């Protein structure tokens, strides 16, 4: 029970959980946070919120929080609390020493999509301007990097095409590989309102999620595909649309590359892509798939929303391109009620990608090999930028195991718990000579760290987040950083300890630099954000009010590009030893690895990850409701409790990954998306057997 004081003042800020980006009024009594009230003028949420944003902020004052910097010479030694100055000069000396011995490219950074745009911009600047390489990557690598590739190739930029309001004009809503009910609850509420008003719903998901059916609505079609076969389903839908003449030829002729379309149409028309042929691969009944394709093509405004069930596959980028193909084929781009909308997982995945956190791209999605782009930053930063793309997260870990990558600055990301194939991550971290963890808590990755720099919570941050609809929202400081420094200040101090001379005194100055160097942000500054509340990029001279809908008159790349999407089965195969397919997801009340939600004690959260298994598969193995089971894959094994449900089909099992004790990523493989290395979290061949418990 919480004793609530009477609020005496309030600060408008933005939720730091999911990519919906809800605005909140943080109400305080003096310096004590009394409650978070959903802000009625917030353009993403219009006064609504979910349980996480409303209640799950207690972690900011949790006893586990580390408030003082710590160092140690090796990971078998105990931590030693030191001053900020000592910690930063220790870290700087280690990193410079490593570079002197092993070369400029032997160090790098991993940033977090939970940080602000300004923090993220500074971290990639640290890599490029101070470390002198492009070894910068982000946790978006493990979630939406295929969106960057797929939408970049087809439309010309990595961004959702619509604002959230647009769903109110949709007639057919197709949700692929996402469960907005749990992952994006406030957007889900707006979507469900539209469904209750009569819009039709198609869900493509191996599991019968809460999104499939709710009070007063039910999906017209639930395509419960076999995990790993998204491409075959999307291509079969295109087959129906093309072979039955349901495409929007006017749109294709005027807005898309006609030659590319003809090549694509020939490809999808092949009988091997028919629903009947695909059924053998996907398990989706051909008649159901045909009906869904017809509905999407002929049912009016068709809007597509997708999530990590699309991207976290060996063909994640291919499915994103397949989805873009479907939207272009049916003319569902460039007006209200339609579009292709990646539901970004974390609060600032969009911003993290926008800010140049990828090893091949500078801010604004511009390739580092382009001299004219490097010149902009070289002039602004007064340094020479390496034209060679850097290492992605998995490449950093591989290089570490091979003895070539020795130093890592890891900000706000617990890679040991969140990245696939835990044993390999641990081996990579253990092989490094300096791991700097900048975080709120001593997380799993910190077990391998030599320097711990305390981080600040969203309540202590000043800056901006960019949500899934490209909306740049202000994050305002509700309370002073308990650890003494804002995260952007820590990055600046580290840069200066390594020889830079940065002189930012407020995050607004960082945003001014972003605007100067990044065309889609050219019209963004804190005064504009104060005046308008928020803006959606691109915001510049051509779009001074921002851009709620993209690709209205033409695609960013000019003509929309159809791309052939050949289905290639994952290398992760079931067989006699591992006959079931494991897929993963999350629940509404927890968030990712649970670092925050598990440390919030003002509400009762579920306290373990469960394994969903179909009663038929359970019976074959002598497993009853609530039994402990051993879950084993080629990568490793863990133990958790079983829950029997027909939400999953026979042959498919499902779990969440919110608790470190479960170690779901001990099970997952190191297969990844062919274009971006996004891990294939959603398909792992497993076996289940009874167990006596952990
Ligand atoms: Fe926060 Fe997302 Fe919930 Fe909104 S929907 S309150 S952004 S977790």
Q: For 173-182, how does the pLDDT look when each residue is reduced to its tens digit (9 = 90+)?
A: 999 999 999 8
More confident of the two residues 559 and 62: 559
Backbone angles phi, psi at 237, to 5 degrees: -65, -40
Cβ atoms of residues 522 and 364 within 8 Å = no
Nearest CA to ligand 1 atom 1: 53
**Lowest mean pLDDT across 6-20, 174-188, 580-594:** 580-594
Task: Tell me, in angstroms, the distance from the centre of ligand 1 to residue 179's CA.
Answer: 14
Q: What is the pLDDT of residues 626-662, one digit of tens each?
A: 999 999 999 889 999 999 999 999 999 999 876 666 6
Does any ligand 1 atom lie closer than 6 A to the CB of residue 17? Answer: yes
Is 70 exceeded by the pLDDT of residue 423? Answer: yes
pLDDT at 1: 41
What is the DSSP track for 367-428? ETT-HHHHHHHHHHHTSPPP-S----HHHHHHHHHTT---EEEEES--HHHHSS-HHHHHHH
Measured from the CB, is residue 15 less than 6 Å from ligand 1?
A: yes
What are the backbone angles phi and psi of residue 445, rounded to the nearest 5°? -60, -35
- Residue-wise pLDDT for 145-192, tens only, equals 899 899 999 999 888 999 999 999 999 999 999 999 988 999 999 999
pLDDT of residue 140: 72
589 pLDDT exceeds 80?
no
Residue nearest to atom 3 of ligand 1 (CA): 50
Distance CA 84, CA 70 (A): 9
Separation of alpha carbons 377 and 354, rounded Å: 15
**Mean pLDDT, to the nearest integer, of 101-109?**
97
Q: Is the pLDDT of residue 593 over 70?
A: no
- Give the nearest ligand 1 atom to 591 CA: 8
Judged against a pLDDT cut of 90, whether residue 58 lies above it is answered with no
For residue 619, report the distance from its CA to the centre of ligand 1, in Å: 39
pLDDT at 659: 66
Q: Residue 359 pLDDT > 70, yes or no?
A: yes
Please report the ipTM that was assigned to this predicted complex: 0.99
Record: fold of 145-342: Dimethylsulfoxide Reductase; domain 2 (3.40.228)
Out of 281-285, 446-450, 603-607, 685-689, pick the least confident.
603-607
pLDDT value of position 139: 75
Query: How many CA atoms are closer than 13 Å to the CA of 26, on its beta-carbon side?
Result: 23
Residue 675, Ramachandran bin (φ over 0: left; ψ between -120 and 50: alpha; else beta): alpha
Which helix (H) or strand (E) covers residue 441, if one does? none
Distance CA 346, CA 595 (A): 13
Can you tell me the mean pLDDT for 491-515?
97
Q: CB-based contacts of 617: which residues, under 8 Å, 6+ apart? A: 580, 650, 651, 653, 688
Q: Which CATH architecture has domain 9-61?
A: Single Sheet (2.20)
8-12, 613-617, 674-678: range with lowest mean pLDDT: 674-678
Atom of ligand 1 nearest to the CA of 187: 5
Using a 6 Å cutoff on CB, does residue 185 contact ligand 1?
A: yes
Residue pair 43/533 in contact by the 8 Å Cβ criterion? yes
Decide if domain 580-690 falls under CATH 2.40.40.20.
yes
Among 40-44, 139-143, 408-412, whose mean pLDDT is lowest?
139-143
Both tokens of residue 373? 């782009």
Which residue CA neighbors atom 4 of ligand 1 most closely?
22
pLDDT > 60? residue 283: yes
CA of 86 to the centre of ligand 1 (A): 38
Q: What is the dihedral of CA 138, 141, 144, 147, to 10 degrees?
A: 110
pLDDT at 280 over 90: yes
Instruction: Render pLDDT for 208-237 as a digit per residue (tens, 0 to 9).
Output: 999 999 888 999 999 999 999 999 999 999
| Ligand 1 neighbour 182 (Cβ under 6 A) | no
What is the rounded average pLDDT of the residues 79-93? 97
Binning pLDDT at 50, 70 and 90, where does residue 609 land?
confident
Q: Rounded distance, CA 393 to CA 250, Å?
A: 43
Average pLDDT (245-273) is: 97
Is there a contact between 358 and 676 (Cβ–Cβ < 8 Å)?
no
- Are the C-beta atoms of residues 307 and 19 closer than 8 Å to each other? no
pLDDT of 113: 84
Q: What is the DSSP letter of 140?
A: G
Give, for 485, the enclosing helix (H) or strand (E). none
The DSSP line for 12-46 is EEE-SSBTT--EEEEEEETTEEEEEEE-TT-TTTT
Mean pLDDT value across the chain: 92
Confidence band for 57, pLDDT divided at 50, 70 and 90: confident
Ligand 1 atom with the shortest distance to the CA of 38: 6
Q: What confidence score (pLDDT) does residue 575 get?
A: 94
pLDDT confidence of residue 660: 61
User: What kind and span of H or E run contains 465?
Assistant: strand 463-466
pLDDT over 70 percentage in the chain = 96
DSSP result, 190-214? HHHHHHHTT-EEEEE-SB--TTTEE
On whether the CB atoms of residues 588 and 50 are closer than 8 A, the answer is yes
What's the gap in Å between 14 CA and the centre of ligand 1? 9
The residue written with tokens 């539901």 in the block is 343
**Residue 686 Cα, ligand 1 centroid: separation in angstroms?**
33
Any idea where the domains of the chain sit in the sequence? 9-61, 70-142+348-460+478-522, 145-342, 580-690
**Which residues is 679 bridged to in the sheet?**
672
CA distance 269 to 243: 6
pLDDT of residue 2 exceeding 50: no
Kindly report, residue by residue over 110-134, the tens digit of the pLDDT: 998 889 999 999 999 999 999 999 9
Count Cβ neighbours within 10 Å for each residue of 249-275 and write b for 16 or more, e otherwise. Answer: eebbeebbbeebbeebbebbeeeebbb
Give 141's pLDDT tier (boundaries 50, 70, 90): confident
Q: In angstroms, what is the span from residue 385 Cα to ligand 1's centroid?
A: 38
Kindly state the average pLDDT of the residues 132-137.
97
Q: What is the largest CA-CA distance in the chain?
A: 70
Four-residue CA torsion sign, 513, 515, 520, 524? positive
Query: Which segments of 107-144 does DSSP mark as H helices, in order?
Result: 117-125
Check if CATH label 3.60.21.10 holds for domain 70-142+348-460+478-522. no
What pLDDT sits at residue 600?
A: 77
Higher pLDDT, 15 or 418: 15
Mean pLDDT check: name the lowest of 294-308, 427-441, 550-564, 667-681: 667-681
b (16+ CB within 10 A) / e for 206-238 = bbbbebbebeebebbbbbbbbbbbbbbbbbbbb
| Separation of CA 307 and ligand 1 centre (Å) | 16
Tens of pLDDT, residues 518-576: 999 999 999 999 999 999 999 999 999 999 999 999 999 999 999 999 999 999 999 99
Pocket-testing residue among 14, 21, 22, ligand 1, by greatest number of atoms within 8 A of Cβ: 22
**In whole angstroms, what is the distance from residue 627 CA to residue 690 CA?**
7
100 sits in the region (left: phi over 0; alpha: psi -120 to 50; else beta) called alpha
pTM of the model: 0.90
């Amino acid at each position: 029970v919480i004793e609530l004081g009477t609020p005496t003042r309030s600060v408008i800020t933005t939720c730091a959980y999911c990519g919906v980006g809800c605005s909140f009024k943080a109400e305080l009594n003096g310096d004590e946070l009394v409650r978070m009230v959903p802000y009625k003028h917030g353009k993403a949420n219009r006064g609504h919120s979910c349980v996480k944003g409303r209640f799950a902020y207690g972690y900011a004052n949790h006893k586990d929080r580390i408030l003082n910097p710590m160092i140690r010479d090796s990971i078998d030694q105990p931590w030693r609390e030191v001053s900020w100055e000592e910690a930063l000069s220790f870290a700087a000396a280690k990193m410079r020493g490593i570079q002197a011995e092993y070369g400029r490219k032997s160090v790098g950074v991993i940033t977090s999509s939970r940080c602000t745009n300004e923090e993220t911009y500074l971290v990639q600047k640290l890599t490029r301007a101070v470390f002198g390489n492009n070894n910068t990557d982000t946790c978006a690598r493990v979630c939406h990097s295929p969106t960057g590739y797929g939408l970049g190739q087809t439309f010309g930029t990595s961004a959702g095409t619509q604002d959230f309001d647009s769903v109110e004009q949709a007639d057919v809503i197709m949700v692929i590989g996402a469960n907005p009910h749990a992952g994006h609850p406030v957007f889900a509420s707006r979507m469900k309102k539209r469904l209750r008003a009569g819009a039709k719903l198609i869900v493509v998901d191996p599991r019968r999620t809460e999104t499939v059916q709710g009070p007063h609505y039910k999906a017209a079609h639930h395509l419960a595909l076999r995990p790993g076969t998204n491409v075959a389903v999307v291509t079969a839908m295109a087959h129906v649309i093309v072979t039955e003449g349901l495409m929007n030829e006017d749109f294709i002729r005027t807005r898309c590359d006609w030659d590319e379309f003809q090549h694509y149409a020939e490809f999808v028309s092949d009988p091997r892509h028919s629903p009947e042929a695909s059924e053998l691969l996907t398990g989706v009944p051909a008649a159901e798939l045909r009906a869904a394709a017809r509905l999407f093509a002929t049912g009016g405004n068709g809007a597509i929303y997708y999530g990590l069930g699309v991207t976290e596959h060996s063909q994640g980028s291919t499915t994103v391109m397949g989805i873009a193909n479907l939207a272009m084929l049916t003319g569902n781009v460039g007006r209200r009620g339609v579009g292709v909308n990646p539901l970004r997982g974390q609060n600032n995945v969009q911003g993290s990608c926008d800010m140049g956190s990828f090893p091949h791209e500078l801010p604004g999605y511009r390739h580092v090999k382009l001299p004219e782009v490097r010149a902009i930053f070289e002039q602004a930063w007064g340094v020479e930028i390496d034209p060679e793309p850097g290492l992605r997260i998995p490449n950093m870990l591989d290089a570490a195991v091979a003895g070539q990558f020795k130093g890592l600055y890891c900000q706000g990301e617990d890679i040991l718990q969140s990245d696939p194939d835990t044993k390999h991550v641990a081996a990579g971290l253990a092989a490094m000579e300096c791991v700097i963890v900048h975080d709120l808590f001593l997380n799993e990755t910190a077990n391998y760290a030599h320097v711990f720099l305390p981080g600040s919570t969203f309540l202590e941050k000043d800056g901006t987040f960019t949500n899934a609809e490209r909306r740049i929202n202000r994050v305002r400081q509700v309370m002073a950083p308990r650890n003494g420094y804002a995260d952007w200040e820590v990055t600046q101090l580290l840069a200066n300890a390594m020889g830079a001379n940065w002189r930012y005194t407020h995050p607004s100055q960082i945003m001014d630099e972003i605007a100067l160097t990044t065309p889609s942000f050219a019209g963004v500054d804190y005064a504009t954000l104060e005046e308008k509340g928020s803006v959606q990029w691109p915001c510049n001279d051509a779009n001074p009010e921002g851009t709620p809908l993209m690709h209205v008159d033409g695609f960013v790349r000019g003509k929309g590009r159809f791309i052939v999407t050949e289905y290639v089965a994952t290398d992760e195969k079931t067989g006699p030893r591992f006959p079931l397919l494991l897929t993963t997801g999350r629940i509404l009340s927890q968030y990712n690895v649970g670092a925050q939600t598990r440390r919030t004690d003002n509400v009762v959260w579920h306290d373990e990850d469960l394994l969903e298994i179909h009663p038929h598969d359970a019976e074959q193995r002598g497993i009853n409701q609530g039994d402990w089971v051993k879950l084993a894959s080629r990568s490793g094994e863990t133990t958790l409790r079983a829950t029997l449900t027909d939400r999953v089909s026979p042959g498919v099992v499902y779990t969440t990954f919110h608790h470190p004790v479960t170690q779901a990523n001990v099970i997952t493989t190191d297969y990844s998306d062919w274009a971006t290395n996004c891990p294939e979290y959603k398909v792992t061949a497993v076996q289940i057997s009874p167990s006596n418990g952990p």
